[in-house]
Chains A and B, each alone.
Chain A
Amino acid sequence: MKGTYLGEFQEIVLLTILVLDENAYGVSIQDEIGSRTGREVSRGALHTALTRLEEKGFINSQYGGATSERGGRRKRYYQVTNLGRSALEEAKSVRDKLWNSVPKISLQNIHG
């Protein structure tokens, strides 16, 4: 499999999709990332990340319903797969371990 490495931005996108649960599609993911992280993400950058994630098998997608507001254009909804979930957990555990290994004194400096 080509690279199971999970990039930082990709991690955020995965988490956002999980947060959005049933309602994860382009516009909503953009809004959610924007409000939660303060990052303005362009639709194109998001598309690239989603494509990569789908190639790695971390997410699934399918067409949703067409509404008149979108001029009849269907939305594409995304869900995280089991593989994606386990990649997230792995990434989280790696980070937790690292955090735990940091000597208390350095952490105090950071907090101070």
Chain B
Amino acid sequence: MNNSPSKFFTKLFEQFCNDSFYEELQGDLEERFYINSEEKGIKKAQSIYRSEIIKMLRPSVIRKVKYQKLNNIAMFKNYTLVAFRNLSRNKLFSAINIIGLAVSMAVCLIAITFVTEIKNYDGFHENRNQIYRVFNTRTNRGSEPQVYATTSLLTGTKLKEQSSAFATVVPIYNGFNGNLKKGENSFSIRGLFVGEEFLDLFTFPLRYGNAETALDEPFSVVLTEETALRIFSRSDVVGEILERGRAQFTVTGVMANPPSTSHLKFNAVASLKTYETRPQRPKILSDWGTMWQSYVYVQLKDNVNLEQAQESLNLIAKEENTKSEAFKIQPGLEPLMSIFPGDGKFNQLGTVMPKKNLDQIVILALIVLFSACFNYANLSIARSLKRAKEVGIRKVVGAKKGQLYVQFVSEAVIVSLLSLILGFFLFKLIRPEFLSLNIYTSRTTTLNLTTEIYCYFIGFALLIGILAGTLPAILMTKIKTIKILKGISGIKPGQGLTLRKAMIGLQFIFSMGFAIMVILAEKQYKHALNFDLGYQTENVVNVYTDGRDPMLLKTAFGKLPSIEGISTSYFLHSTGTLNSDWAKNIAGTDSAYLYNNFIDTDYLENMNHQILAGQNFNMDGPGNQIIVNEKLLERFQLGKPDEALGKQIDFLKSRKVIVGVVKDFHYGTIYNELKPYAFVLDKDREMYYMNLNVNTTDMAGTLAELGKVWEEIYPGTKISASFYANDIERTYNDLSSALKTFTLLAIIAISISILGLLGMAVYMAESRIKELTIRKVLGASLSNLVLHLSKSFVVIFIVAAAIAIPVTNYLFKELVLTDLEYTNSVGFWELASGALITMVIAFLTISSQMLRAAKSNPAKSLRNE
């Protein structure tokens, strides 16, 4: 230990002690130390020294913090005044800044509202942190595992019977759809069959009825208040009877309308017990592998953790998986709050927005925002020359660096808040566009504004003000006072030029990127729509029969002169629905998944399929006929089309005979590869779609005619018909919405970049006016001058294009094209044209300013020399 007092504590004391009495206090302490080390020893002396210094932590000793309370209020008044004066003096720049920020803020406001709403999904359930959903990962033999949001109802039953890990188990079957009849009137509803503990698990309070017992009995239904009003025109309808098909349901409860932020969406819920009353146990209740439309939600017991719960599931799975060899199912648990936004599971309940969507929107909003902030920083820095004198005088009069910084940042905050107001109006304008952007946004979000969201808006504007104002503030505070007051401007027009050029370059990279994306997406979309599917879709109208008698409709429609051909099928090809089942080759041991559809005898001819061998279905023949495609022949090695006729395969639990071979066609979308396919004859199958071959080009007229015929046969109901081309268009909704999004963004990004460019151009023209006029006087022509001025910008554009083109190309391939099986090649011309368009717009902007500068009168600008 040293002979002198602790250096660390001494330094510490020096830090916090007021300068005016540090000397005497530390001197006294040290003197005391030496006295103590003689009397009591060094250790004791040190410890006394340290404790004395700790005791020095008192108000009378500690330094005064720079506390200029009274001063600050006055300064802020001054800053605000100066800020407004500045804004009004430079109307053009101010307008550019405010509009640019407002536009980008509108986009960000949408993003904020959107993200807040999405994150709050399902947050209204009281038990939300203990609710989980069982999901299945299914591996069909010979295929990759696929993850579904669904699980079999059997899983739910087994969990209730065998496992002690769960406090509540609620199975849900998504099948309570169709029409409910009250007397003569029919009301279409979409609903769910749910287990009796549904109202315990989820927070859906009942307005009428007893939540404990409402779903206990079979044939009970609980309506949402809005549905009750729709059907009965009043809400207290407990005890009323509604007919569904041949069954009668009793209303046992009316629930308050669920909030829009619920992934469970329904008009009514009926008791799942209804299914248990059927004489034969239906497959959906008893089969491990029937898992397409059923869900199981559970609540863990308090003392059970996730691993234990998962163990119960694993046990059940082990036992059940041994019963089948065609597939294996591994169930898992996902928390309620993770369901929405979703991670790509199949067969979600309701429309679930993919997480990707959310992330994309946030990233795009951020890009737009940074673009606008760049603008602000750019313009402010450029104008710093004009404010150099002001800054110099403030410094002389005594402003500290911190105060100057605060001044410029608060100017940015004021601009930001003004932009917020303008941006809010723009937000209201853009809102409906955003909601109709794609099916996810239109079905899941409402973008309603709550107080929480308003607070975020204001906080956001403040944050942006600070961010945008930081860079110019830092630059301003670095100005050297003496140089300015001497008249030699410390800031050359070129100050920070490289930085500013880089910022403009970056803005243009984004703008060009978006423009290119738009062109690429457009091309891809057109390709998808016009894709040759291998059968006829032009002039075909599809009518949804909803299970009604096709014969009746066929005769009625057949009477119309515009109808050339009529056929029916179980579902429509190329609209995203796929049906497949396990098939086994008899002449060998091979088996594979076979995609299939059910059709009538008119279908192949009506839809113009090319038959390569054999013949169409024969209604009078045996019931096991199938017609297959070439891919099946390949897969099962059945030889050439002629050779395959008469061969047999096991499919759909019976032995089928191949009576015809059809040319490969696209039964799926451009996302699906071609796989083995079969048309199956099923004389008892209900055909849900009727395909009408129409020979006129009068779309509206044809649909009207069909509507009339329908209403004559089924009065009180409306026909559900659309042209095949429209059905296909709807399937590619995600491409069309990507297109819409990018177009919107491209316009916004380009506008912001142009605004920034305009500001730069004006500023450049102003600051180089002397140089221009001298050149003019010395004999330069107009075009020479314009070229000379534009030189610096051209370089920026070329570099931006050079970066934007390959990056966008890569991104497009990665994000959009990887999902598609059948894509169009991306040509150089498409990439280049996007960049070119942006450049042309930019040039038009600059040239207007350049021309103005070049045409100016030399006499005026050189007058002061």
B168 to chain A, nearest CB (A): 64
Task: Across the interface, name the chain A residue whose C-beta is closest to B51.
Answer: A42
A43-B29, A73-B30 are known contacts. Are A48 and B60 too (CB-CB below 8 A)?
A: yes
Known: A73-B24, A76-B24. A47 touches B60 (CB 8 A): yes
Known: A30-B32, A43-B52, A74-B24; 8 extra A-B contacts, CB below 8 A, are A26-B25, A42-B51, A43-B29, A44-B55, A47-B61, A52-B60, A71-B27, A74-B27
Q: Which chain A residues numbered 56 to 77 have a C-beta less than 8 Å away from chain B?
A: 63, 69-71, 73-76
Question: In the complex, which residues of chain B have a beta carbon less than 8 angstroms from the beta carbon of A43?
Answer: 25, 28-29, 32, 52, 55-56
Q: Which of A11-27 contact B (CB under 8 A)?
A: 25-27
Which of A30-64 touch B at CB < 8 Å?
A: 30, 42-45, 47-48, 51-52, 63
A44 and B58 in contact, given A25-B28, A75-B28 (Cβ under 8 angstroms): yes
Taking each of B24, B51, B52, which has the highest tally of chain A beta carbons within 10 Å of its own beta carbon? B24
For A25, list chain B residues within 8 Å (CB).
24, 28
Tell yes or no: B287 within 8 A of A by CB: no
Are A44 and B56 closer than 8 Å at their CB atoms? Answer: yes
**A45 to nearest B CB, angstroms?**
7
CB distance A69 to B61 under 8 Å? no
Instruction: Name the CB-closest residue of A to B57.
Output: A44
Known: A30-B32, A69-B34. A44 touches B27 (CB 8 A): no
Q: Which of A25, A44, A45, A71 has the most CB of B within 10 A?
A: A44
Within B1-49, which residues are at the interface with A (CB < 8 Å)? Answer: 21, 23-32, 34-35
With CB as the reference atom, state the residue of chain A lying closest to B24: A76
Q: Indicate whether A42 sits within 8 Å of B26 (C-beta atoms), given known contacts A30-B32, A47-B61, A69-B31.
A: no
Closest to B35 in A: A27
Q: Assess whether A27 is in contact with B23, with CB atoms less than 8 Å apart.
A: no
Distance of A24 from chain B, by nearest CB (Å): 12
Closest 3 CB pairs between A and B? A73-B27, A26-B28, A76-B24
Q: Which residue of B lies closest to A45 (CB)?
A: B55
Determine whether the beta carbon of B31 is less than 8 Å from that of A70. yes
Given contacts A70-B31, A71-B30, contact A26 B24 (CB under 8 A): yes
- CA of A27 to CA of B52, assembled, Å: 13
Chain A contributes a number of interface residues (CB within 8 A of B) equal to: 20
Distance of A73 from chain B, by nearest CB (Å): 3
Q: How far is the CA of A70 from the CA of B24 in the complex (A)?
A: 10
Q: Are the CB atoms of B52 and A42 closer together than 8 Å?
A: yes
Which A residues contact B (CB, under 8 angstroms)?
A: 25-27, 30, 42-45, 47-48, 51-52, 63, 69-71, 73-76
B26 touching A73, Cβ below 8 Å: yes
Q: How many A-B residue pairs have CB under 8 A?
A: 63
**Across the interface, do A48 and B28 meet the contact criterion of CB distance under 8 Å?**
no
Sampled A-B contacts (9; CB under 8 Å): A25-B28, A27-B32, A43-B28, A47-B58, A48-B60, A51-B60, A69-B31, A71-B27, A75-B24
- A102–B417 Cα distance when bound, in Å, is 73
Task: Please indicate the chain B residues that have their CB under 8 angstroms from the CB of A45 in the complex.
Answer: 55, 58
* Chain A neighbourhood of B21, CB < 8 A: 47, 76
In whole Å, how far is A49's beta carbon from the nearest beta carbon of chain B? 9
Shortest CB-to-CB span from B339 to chain A, Å, is 61
A51 to B18, CA, bound (A): 13
User: Residues of B contacting A74 with CB < 8 Å?
Assistant: 23-24, 27
Known: A30-B32, A43-B29. A73 touches B23 (CB 8 A): yes
Q: B19 → chain A, closest Cβ, in Å?
A: 13
- For the complex, what is the distance from the CA of A43 to the CA of B24, rounded to whole Å? 11
Q: How far is the CB of A72 from chain B (nearest CB, A)?
A: 9
Question: Measured between C-beta atoms, what is the minimum distance from B639 to chain A in Å?
Answer: 104
State how many angstroms separate the Cβ of A108 from the closest Cβ of chain B: 42
Give the distance to chain A from B464, nearest Cβ to Cβ, in Å: 47
Which residues of chain B have C-beta atoms less than 8 A from A42's C-beta? 51-52, 55
Interface hub of B28, B58, B60 (most chain A Cβ within 10 A): B28
For the complex, give the distance between the alpha carbons of A75 and B24 in Å.
5
C-alpha spacing A70/B25, complex, angstroms: 11
Complex Cα spacing A48 to B21, Å: 12
Distance between Cα atoms of A26 and B28 in the complex (Å): 6
Q: Write out the residue numbers on chain A whose beta carbons fall within 8 Å of the beta carbon of B56.
A: 43-44, 47
Cα A66 to Cα B673 with chains together (Å) = 95
CB contacts (< 8 Å) of B31 on chain A: these are 27, 69-70
Q: Which residues of A contact B61 (CB under 8 A)?
A: 44, 47-48
Q: In the complex the two chains form, what is the Cα distance from A75 to B27 in whole Å?
A: 7
Contact across chains for A27 and B28 when beta carbons are under 8 A apart: yes
Bound complex: CA A75 to CA B35 (Å): 16
Cα A71 to Cα B59 in complex, Å, equals 27
Kindly list chain B residues whose C-beta atoms are within 8 Å of the C-beta of A47: 21, 25, 56, 58, 60-61
Instruction: Give the chain A neighbours of B28 by CB distance below 8 A.
Output: 25-27, 30, 43, 75
Q: Which residues on the A side are within 8 Å of B51 (C-beta)?
A: 42
Minimum Cβ distance to chain A for residue B60 (Å): 4
Docked complex Cα distance between A84 and B29 (Å): 27
In the docked arrangement, what's the CA distance between A30 and B33, Å? 13
A51 to B74, CA, bound (A): 32
* Given A27-B31, A30-B32, A73-B30: A44 touches B24 (CB 8 Å cut-off): no
Judging by beta carbons under 8 Å apart, are A44 and B34 in contact?
Answer: no
Q: CB-CB < 8 A to A51: which residues of B?
A: 60
Bound-state Cα–Cα, A26 to B61, Å: 14
> Are A44's CB and B32's CB within 8 A?
no
Instruction: Out of A44, A52, A70, name the residue touching B30 (CB < 8 Å).
Output: A70
**Least Cβ–Cβ distance between B34 and chain A, in angstroms:** 7
Q: Tell me, rounded to whole Å, the shortest Cβ–Cβ distance linking A36 to chain B.
A: 18
Q: Is the CB of A70 within 8 A of B27?
A: yes
Least CB distance, A7 to chain B, in whole angstroms: 14
Q: Which residues of chain B come closer than 8 Å to A52, judged between CB atoms?
A: 60
B591 to chain A, nearest CB (A): 90
What chain A residues lie within 8 Å of B29 (beta carbons)?
A: 43
Chain B residues closer than 8 Å to A70, beta-carbon distance: 27, 30-31
- Docked pose: A44 CA to B29 CA in angstroms: 10
Chain B, residues 781-799, CB within 8 Å of chain A (1/0): the string is 0000000000000000000
Task: Give the complex CA separation of A74 and B34 in angstroms.
Answer: 16
List, in ascending order, chain A residues with CB within 8 A of B26's CB.
Answer: 73
